[in-house]
Chain A
Amino acid sequence: MLVDRINRGLRLVPPWALYIVGAAWAAWLFYLGATGGLGVEPIEALEHEYGEIALQLVILGLVVTPLRQIAGINAFKFRRAIGVVAFFYVLAHFLVWALLDVQSLSRVWADIVDRPYITIGMAGFALLIPLAVTSNNLSVRRMGAAAWRKLHKLVYPAALLGAVHYVWLAKGFQLEPMIYLAVVLGLLALRLPVIRTRLAS
């Protein structure tokens, strides 16, 4: 009953609404940062906001399949929009870090090479680039559905790298990044063949 109602409600929402909301929210955060609304250190605040939203969206994208398997809720039509918006938040996170925080190309490069948590963050970002580029119907047709699906499994290592990146940059032993990592690991575990067949039966 409830599931039917949720599914009916989801059918009413067009996927492009996610692009609008995602872009508006990113712009709003930037405006807040520029006008003192993110506190006295807006660069770090904006960097963290974009990064955390990106991780949340990647997780949301990983929820779509188990949501249908376990709860029967069908949100597949949003999956592309979730992924593309997630990618743009990762890009925004990277740009704030490189342009506003580090402020020098040589230091950006040095950080990527020298600092493991930045190296893996960049690796996760790099894995998402081919996914963002092929997030269109033309690419699916050209590549063939099977190859396309295989390519887009790169989101699994990307999600893991993003979560580890967050755990690694925290000072001391902090709870929040650990929770994100646990959620990502749980969602990836649902993809293990042994568990998948159990869910399907």
Chain B
Amino acid sequence: MYLNRRQIMAGSGALLGAGLIGGQAQAQDLEPNTWEEITNYNNFYEFGTGKDDPAAHAHMMTTEPWEIVVDGLVDNPGTYSFAEIMEGMTVEERIYRLRCVEAWSMVVPWNGFELADLLEGVGVQDGAQYVAFETLNRPEEMPGLRFPVLEWPYREGLRLDEAMHPLTIMATGLYGEPMPNQNGAPIRLVVPWKYGFKSIKSIVRITLTADQPLASWNMAQPREYGFYSNVNPNVDHPRWSQATERRIGGGLFASRQDTLMFNGYEDEVASLYEGMDLSEFF
């Protein structure tokens, strides 16, 4: 249809760009967590607040058919099927660190495409400054929605330049397999330099806005979860330190490791926040 920037570019430049990023990720020699670890230790409160709840209950979620409403300040608003969204998108593997705000971390081999490609396809209008996202809100398939842990539906947002950054992907799989439900099937956001809760799962709505959108955790506890929520070892969560993290999979006697600025993507993303006081805009 029209989501085909990659094809117009004949793939070469785009793949080169992806190759550079992929090369950086590989150069950091990241050893991915196992499939079992990635799919059995999740926060997806729509299925319960326990780490094993998503793996236990997410099979109830219907992911086929799947539609995403794209609206707000775009040239081509509408309701797109998952297949229409995927048309012309180049899916690649991106091995990224994932750092949860709870001070644990993983390395995940995602499959996905750059969010920038999708946004260019729908035509971002002048005046759009932010991208807002919403998660599926279907109580009969999501038992966790019975409890007002957060104000549902789950919402998240990015500044437009963050959303357009080549590291920001829409992920549709991991380890080359279709995205498991508990990891945010069929399509989720992955923003590797921000705490995990920014990478919203099972997306049903994407809205381009002029104003900073609502974000669920920020609405619930603004002092604890800022809109930016960039991984930052020097800015503690009010209730725990963010200086170190525990890598999942090390067992009962695993050592903590130091948390990296911007989760190790400082070279790529620090320029987005030049001149901002990161302890104020946390």
A interface list, Cβ under 8 A from B: 30, 33-34, 36, 39-44, 46, 100-103, 107, 110-111, 114-117, 168-175
A116 and chain B: residue at smallest CB distance: B239
Contact partner of B254 (CB less than 8 A), chosen from A43, A110, A169, A175, is A43
CB-defined contacts of B150 to chain A, threshold 8 Å:
172-173
Q: Tell me the dominant secondary structure on chain A's binding face.
A: helix
Please, how many angstroms separate the alpha-carbon atoms of A169 and B236 in the complex?
15
Segment 228-251 of B: residues with Cβ below 8 Å from A = 236, 238-241, 244, 246, 248-249, 251
B16 within 8 Å of A (CB atoms): no
What are the 8 closest A-B residue pairs judged by CB atoms, nearest first? A172-B149, A40-B37, A42-B252, A34-B252, A40-B41, A33-B252, A172-B150, A40-B248
Please, how many angstroms separate the alpha-carbon atoms of A103 and B220 in the complex?
31
Contact B149 A173 (CB under 8 A): yes
CB-defined contacts of B148 to chain A, threshold 8 Å:
173
Report how many residues on chain B are interfacial, defined by Cβ distance under 8 Å: 32
Q: Which of B220, B236, B241, B252 has the most CB of A within 10 A?
A: B252
CB-defined contacts of B244 to chain A, threshold 8 Å:
107
Contact B40 A40 (CB under 8 A): yes
Shortest CB distance A64–B (Å): 31
Please, how many angstroms separate the alpha-carbon atoms of A42 and B248 in the complex?
9
Contact B240 A41 (CB under 8 A): no
Please, how many angstroms separate the alpha-carbon atoms of A173 and B147 in the complex?
8
Contact A43 B246 (CB under 8 A): yes
B82 within 8 Å of A (CB atoms): no
B102 within 8 Å of A (CB atoms): yes
27 contacts between A and B (CB under 8 A): A39-B40, A40-B40, A40-B248, A41-B104, A42-B251, A42-B252, A43-B246, A43-B252, A43-B254, A44-B51, A44-B104, A46-B252, A100-B253, A103-B255, A107-B241, A111-B241, A114-B236, A115-B239, A116-B239, A170-B49, A172-B149, A173-B149, A173-B150, A173-B220, A174-B49, A174-B147, A175-B147
Contact A111 B240 (CB under 8 A): yes
Given contacts A171-B102, A174-B149, contact A100 B252 (CB under 8 A): yes
CB-defined contacts of A103 to chain B, threshold 8 Å:
255-256
CB-defined contacts of A43 to chain B, threshold 8 Å:
246, 252, 254
Contact A169 B36 (CB under 8 A): no
CB-defined contacts of A46 to chain B, threshold 8 Å:
252
Segment 254-269 of B: residues with Cβ below 8 Å from A = 254-256
Segment 32-69 of B: residues with Cβ below 8 Å from A = 36-37, 40-41, 45, 49, 51-52
Shortest CB distance B279–A (Å): 15
B148 and chain A: residue at smallest CB distance: A173
CB-defined contacts of B147 to chain A, threshold 8 Å:
173-175
Please, how many angstroms separate the alpha-carbon atoms of A173 and B256 in the complex?
28
B38 and chain A: residue at smallest CB distance: A40
Please, how many angstroms separate the alpha-carbon atoms of A103 and B148 in the complex?
34
B43 and chain A: residue at smallest CB distance: A171
Given contacts A46-B252, A172-B45, contact A41 B241 (CB under 8 A): no
A30 and chain B: residue at smallest CB distance: B252
CB-defined contacts of A36 to chain B, threshold 8 Å:
251
Q: Which of A30, A40, A43, A174 has the most CB of B within 10 A?
A: A40
Please, how many angstroms separate the alpha-carbon atoms of A163 and B217 in the complex?
24
Please, how many angstroms separate the alpha-carbon atoms of A94 and B1 in the complex?
59
Shortest CB distance B20–A (Å): 32
CB-defined contacts of B236 to chain A, threshold 8 Å:
114
Shortest CB distance A66–B (Å): 29
A99 and chain B: residue at smallest CB distance: B253
Shortest CB distance B238–A (Å): 8
Shortest CB distance A170–B (Å): 8
Please, how many angstroms separate the alpha-carbon atoms of A103 and B244 in the complex?
11
CB-defined contacts of B248 to chain A, threshold 8 Å:
40-41
Please, how many angstroms separate the alpha-carbon atoms of A42 and B104 in the complex?
12
Shortest CB distance B103–A (Å): 10
